[in-house]
Structure 1
Amino acid sequence: MFKLFRKKKKIGCPVCHEKNTVGFGTDYLESKFDSRIELEEKIGNIQTYKCSVCKSDFYKEGEMFQKFASGQIKTLKEFNSLNLELSDNLKAELNSIGLTDDWNMNKIAPAKVQLKNGETYDFATIRISKNPPIGYYFDHFKKVIFIDKVESIEKSEFGLSKEIREKAKNAEERRMGFYPTVLETNNGKKVVINGQSLFFRNGEIKGVDLKLENESWNHQAKYIYEDKIDEQVIIISKE
């Protein structure tokens, strides 16, 4: 005679037991875990949660729990307590650069910024949104900076034109995770960017040197591809 055993649920949450977990569904949590996720404080419109076992902090997007990256609870509180509206001068400069929409309908633009403390950044993504800067996307940036720290905004020589950015936003996937847009330098060199890029740098080639090329990406052709840019920062403003 066979005796059926129900597998014992793990105590805690997926982050307690599974490496590199940053998000999970409520159905997965309920079916596999004896959850120790509890309500914490509400910050603005964001309800926060904490696992009493691993002490990880979470917020929810629909039926998905998302883990806060390090320091983002503090960032969320600051975002909700500050005005963060663009001044008329900064708004005028951004309009001359040209804003585009990202995948989440936030307004973004590439820029060079000088902060009020004198620091300058050539690779600054300006983001205008009602949504707070939380989630692991923001860990890709060297710094998250609020607009009230910014003294001036100007065009970055590495920034791509609005025309290029609009085209790249609608690029078709040609390989897994690869959405190429073909560009050309002033002296005829062919360049490819992947997805909704804002900046370009490869050797002496900069974003300002590039224009759209009326051709599709060809896997047999030779192109110049963008270098990884580690020194990017993101500037946060509210709508």
Structure 2
Amino acid sequence: MTKVCVIFGAGEYYGAPDAALIPADATIVAADGGLDHTRDLHVTPDVVVGDFDSLEGERPSADAGTRTVVLPPLKDDPDMLSALKIGWAAGCREFRIWGGLGGRVDHTLSNIQLIALLAQHGASGYLFGDGTVITAICDGALGFAAHPVPEAGRMVSVFSLSDVSLDVNEPGLKYELEHGTLTNTVVQGVSNEFRDNVAASISVAQGTLIVTFPAEVTLPSVRRFREFSGDIGALDTKVSTLLVR
């Protein structure tokens, strides 16, 4: 079974996270101001990481039983990427992230890029916020179990993050795309819908897709069409070398 890392970021939460999505054996990481949220939720993180520019409460103390990784403000990796690297180093290949959406739009875009980075290395990332889940799949398929769908429908949207995504298939959805080609400049996959009690799948033979679906839908199964290698990089705690001195 894939080991899960749960990350609490400093963004919007739109209510408390679903406790069922936080496994008892998960590695829990608080990214900077995400520590404020773990305190409010009475969740104890295994690791706290950040430069603490968004933390409103007290900095973590060494005697709390939590590992703390302090990053310099003038760094290359955002706090969220550092949190992902910590989870990756702990053996996690599934990442469930709260507080990664809302607030600053540049942070939201950054976090969407990061879940694509995970997908391109054979891992799964899920961003939760405002009743929506955002995930990514690279050269693989997401399988959604059949479930009751309200009359108003449940929207699922698909976007190509890569320049071109080839052989995209969406069986079981209201609009059943077959062997399609999506690009990152033409919007063709927005506002599709799940069908009542019909299983669905979203797959791409070559490329990376960003997929959004309602938070009340069970997380999809993941099938990959090839072996992935490499990792997302080592934790970087140094000041950026790109700074103009």
TM-score, length of structure 2 as denominator length: 0.25
User: RCO (CA 8 Å, sep 6+): is it higher in 1 or 2?
Assistant: 2
TM-score, length of structure 1 as denominator length: 0.26
The structure where helix makes up a greater share of residues is 1
> Which is greater in Rg?
1
